[in-house]
Structure 1
């Protein structure tokens, strides 16, 4: 029985695809890069960041003393632990308040247990900042002057 035209065409297409695949495989074997030496695969970067195939010249290297290298953040000068501020809110019945820091202008919480003498709103106070769970707390709160007239 004779094959139809479309069957012959499909068979020829498959044979052609198989031949093309074999040809591509032969080309890959001829052009593969697996046989290159290490020197052929290396690339060098010069002092300007340009890539080249030749190593940089040795005479351009600068000697650096290891004592001149600093690793890490630049150290800050120590901060004065005693700060000043103005009491902008104080609830005597609940025993807490807030101080506006003169330096950072942030509101810092304090509790009546940290106060050494009686204070009221708008009093100028000195205190020490201490890191708490919800931000900074003022500890060792002491009255400094007669009060700030222009505050708030």
Structure 2
């Protein structure tokens, strides 16, 4: 078989519903196999609020008619502690890059404008601000962890 004949066989295989052709001609063996096409499916990510996590310390965080439209970036857990909550679904990063130090650590003071972390959503890196003033007393998520909308990220005193 010459190159032109092999090329014609490839075109026939490509245009047919066959997936494989095996031909023996004068001691030469030609085996042509068609690869399955893979369909690329992209997930659809919704920006709708996800189900709230179980209440901490017995205090309900479910919206009531009085606070249904309020911002969920901070919710009081008790008289002295507030939380900084995830404003979106995404991946939590404590620093701008793996080589750099964390935005905040336990014991650091934050103000309303302090950047506390990054949430990555659909390849977009969003800097998250504290929106509360106080001292970080606990970091509730690990670096690289997926977080849900409204999930507590930090406790602030």
For the aligned pair, the TM-score class normalised by the smaller chain equals under 0.3
Structure with the higher strand share, 1 or 2 = 2
- Scaled by the length of structure 2, the TM-score of the pair is 0.25
Larger RCO (CA under 8 A, 6+ residues apart): 2
- Scaled by the length of structure 1, the TM-score of the pair is 0.25
Structure with larger Rg = 1
Structure with the higher helix share, 1 or 2 = 1
